[in-house]
A and B are shown apart, each in its own frame.
Chain A
Amino acid sequence: MTILVIAENTNSALAPATLNTVAAAQKIGGDIHVLVAGQGVGAVAEAAAKIAGVAKVLVADNAAFAHQLPENVAPLVAELGKSYSHVLAAATSNGKNILPRVAAQLDVDQISEIVSVESPDTFKRPIYAGNAIATVQSSAAVKVITVRATGFDAVAAEGGSAAIENVSAGGDAGKSSFVGEELAKSDRPELTAAKIVVSGGRGMQNGDNFKHLYTLADKLGAAVGASRAAVDAGFVPNDMQVGQTGKIVAPQLYIAVGISGAIQHLAGMKDSKVIVAINKDEEAPIFQVADYGLVADLFEAVPELEKLV
């Protein structure tokens, strides 16, 4: 068995979710190869070669792969994937965008967002916004799988010394092109990788009030998240959304401030180790999953919390 892991990268850096995906590959067992597709990805390939447990790194360096356009990357992965038993990618926006296209090209079903490996062909994944866990078994010749990063502890980024090999397959399919991007700038830790996450909801009342959460987060070294209500109301950008349709987080500590706790929000954070809820409505559903609940006005509690930690 040989497993192909698609490296999540920004051309210049390897994304941490790749380490969790390699961890899932190790649970399956067998040789692990990592594919780095992008433009000018020399440094990423070297970082990938150092990941503990990786046997080989394949590098596809081509301007057509620079922005991870699925029309260009999927044919490359499908072509390479034919000779592997498993093709894995992190369930990031790129992984979710590219991998189903690969699976259909290989004429196999894809298994989305696995949270555990039961055996090389059997996996667990959450369905119905995490309200049920399905165990699924695949008989496909190539098992195409996306991995939920919070389900697996990252492998060490150092310690390996894999061989690096260039692959020249694929190119521009001529169906799509990159126009531009608008990335949110933040000095805080990345939401999906942070040890502590402080999230605000509709109870924050406006975007300005999020500054209370930013000060608290900076003191804790935490990332700041939000509920859909806060994003839809325009308080914060959408890439901060935690939930079924946003990001899935499982930090050591999740502090939910002014969040009622709808099913869709809980789907994104209920695997956190410790959950704290601060809400003035003591009937709010968030208190049913919170380890520590504080019924209080957040505008008094948050500044006090910031002083005490």
Chain B
Amino acid sequence: MKVLVAVKRVVDYNVKVRVKPDNSGVDLANVKMSMNPFCEIAVEEAVRLKEKGVASEIVVVSIGPTQAQEQLRTALALGADRAVLVESADELNSLAVAKLLKAVVDKEQPQLVILGKQAIDSDNNQTGQMLAALTGYAQGTFASKVEVNGDKANVTREIDGGLQTVALNLPAIVTTDLRLNEPRYASLPNIMKAKKKPLETLTPDALGVSTASTVKTIKVEAPAARGAGIKVKSVAELVEKLKTEAKVL
């Protein structure tokens, strides 16, 4: 079966971002960018499905600026077969991304679509669910285990009180949680080979999708800073402070 994996180019998870002085957004100039960590897990799961003989082809798709090609090449180096970039310089909301992915799903007709559960920049946690609504497919969100049996996928999900397993009719949408797998690193020969794999570029217009949004960001601020704390010398002093100064015990 064909597996479609969506990946997003985001600020590297180790970077501590700074808000721009004019409050228009966060400063991403000269900041290290990477593949969103949950998307890496999605790519890894697709590659493992291929290694098990469940998946026959992995198509990786990204929606973003021209530079998102770097993240697509990374996915190709990890084992994806070909890549699609839907190029858009604008920062798109989840619904617009889901609509563009729906257009790619219509074109590619995958049996399984794997996305990360959330992007670490917008922290929305929406796109997979929205894509499931638009395609009418079942959704297995926050997956920590995926098993494909014939025309069904059993997905174990991380929920607030523990784990839940659901059976989804294929085609279906799965979003990855951290514990689904441990992504591999790309080897140098594979990085070289990935340069020769096909990468198709499309535009929202070519897909006939409007990316208009009903939500706009008015301003972005730094969170309130916490007052400086103190270091205590002993446990006794700590307990004393918590009782008399902070009054939380």
Give A residues with C-beta under 8 Å from B: 67, 69-71, 74, 92-94, 96-105, 107-113, 122, 126-140, 174-184, 192, 196, 220, 228, 231-232, 237-239, 244-245, 247, 252-253, 263-264, 270, 273-276, 282, 287, 289-296, 301, 304-305, 308-309
Contacts and interface: CB of A to CB of B under 8 A. Distances in A.
Contacts of B236: 304, 308
A238 B14 CA distance: 22
Contact of A101 (B19, B132, B165, B222): B132
B139 interface: yes
Contacts of A274: 242, 246, 248
Interface stretch (B52-60, B77-85, B186-194, B225-233): B225-233
Contact of B159 (A93, A196, A293): A93
Given A93-B158, A252-B248, A133 B118 contact: no
B137 to A, nearest CB: 7
A129 B230 CA distance: 25
Contacts of A175: 136-138, 168-169
B193 to A, nearest CB: 31
A79 B149 CA distance: 33
A257 B13 CA distance: 23
Given A137-B215, A287-B231, 14 more contacts: A69-B166, A103-B133, A128-B26, A130-B223, A131-B26, A135-B218, A136-B217, A177-B166, A181-B163, A232-B179, A263-B13, A293-B231, A294-B232, A301-B235
B1 interface: no
B242 A292 contact: yes
B221 A133 contact: yes
Interface stretch (B42-50, B61-69, B123-131, B195-203): B123-131
Nearest to B175: A97
B233 to A, nearest CB: 8
B166 A132 contact: no
B30 interface: no
B28 to A, nearest CB: 10
Interface in B112-146: 117-118, 120-134, 136-142, 144
Contacts of A264: 13
A220 B239 CA distance: 12
B162 A184 contact: yes
A109 B166 CA distance: 27
Given A132-B221, A238-B144, A253-B248, A294 B231 contact: yes
Kindly name the residue among B117, B160, B222, B223 whose own CB sees the greatest number of chain A CB atoms within 10 A: B160
Contact of B249 (A135, A253, A263, A270): A253
Contacts of B229: 275, 287, 289-293
A237 B144 CA distance: 12
Contact of B123 (A127, A289, A309): A127
Given A130-B223, A295-B231, A296-B235, A228 B178 contact: yes
Contacts of B232: 292-294
A103 B164 contact: no
List 10 tightest A-B contacts by C-beta distance, closest first.
Answer: A100-B129, A104-B133, A104-B130, A140-B214, A100-B126, A175-B138, A183-B162, A179-B165, A176-B138, A253-B248
Given A181-B165, A305-B235, A104 B98 contact: yes
B93 interface: yes
Contacts of A263: 13-14, 16
B166 to A, nearest CB: 5
